[in-house]
Structure 1
Amino acid sequence: MLNALMILLFVPIFDLIIYPLVSLCRINIRPLRKMATGMIFAALAFGAATLVEVNVVKTVVEPAPAGKCLLQVYNLAGRDISVKVPDNDVFPDPIKDLQDLPNYETLLLEASSKVLGIAVTLSGKESVCEQTFEEQKAYSLIIYNTNSGIKCK
């Protein structure tokens, strides 16, 4: 759809604006040169599309196997936090403020859906965030600090 629209848009622009301006510079543009220029632009467009596709594929997360889900934690609490997930030892080290963990961690659910009370410790105060997790899905848990304490989304 967009490709056809761009053809309908660029053909008149080149015929009525670009090629006459180039002719003013006393450069003779014949139809064969026009076709070659179009092919060069098409090749550049395919090269750009390839680069975009390669970078998009790098960010795709593999789905979790049955009975498990994926979890990533973002710490927006202002200080380092410790995160403990019941029956899982996925975050043994404290998570630094504004740290973006590089990978999703795999949580064992042992069911198709499970409510987990995630214990978050900030400056010695522990809060429990209840979250429902479903198997074979990826979750991002955002932890932030409010006046009433730590909250999770």
Structure 2
Amino acid sequence: MDTPIETNTRYSLTDGSPLPDPALYLTIIGSLVHLTITRPNIAHDVHIVSQFVTAPTTVHWSVVLRILQYLRGTQFQSLLLSSSSSLDLRAFSDVDWPSDPSDRKSTTGFCIILGDSLISRKRKKQDVISRSSMEAEYRVMASTTCEPVWLR
């Protein structure tokens, strides 16, 4: 799999039929949450599927299996940090306003790059509901600006 979950797909509690025994689902979600410490690239995707631990369905189970297939396919990939790159610090940010139709909160994301190397990244739901896309953009710009200050 090229991506842990399908892009631009929304999941809800009513997708699919309920799993007869959600114990395996809960166990794998717990393991994936622990794995996000060393594989932060799946953190947001694990967050999405962990929202359904109270009533997992067959659709949610297929998403978890896709995440596991992605992990199996990328287990030998790694980051290469070059010693010959410049020390230019760049930051990129974006927001998906409002990305979750159930709570209307926006999802923000940013990455900090030093030379050719990614040194920090973050993707999460905003804490509050933004009333406009501009408000959501200002919030992500503020959090992106704080990150290099903290890294310093």
Same fold (TM over 0.5): no
TM-score (norm 2): 0.24
More helix by share: 2
- More strand as a share of residues: 1
- Structure 1 or 2, whichever has the larger Rg, is 1
Higher relative contact order (CA 8 A, sep 6+): 1
TM-score normalised by structure 1 residue count:
0.24
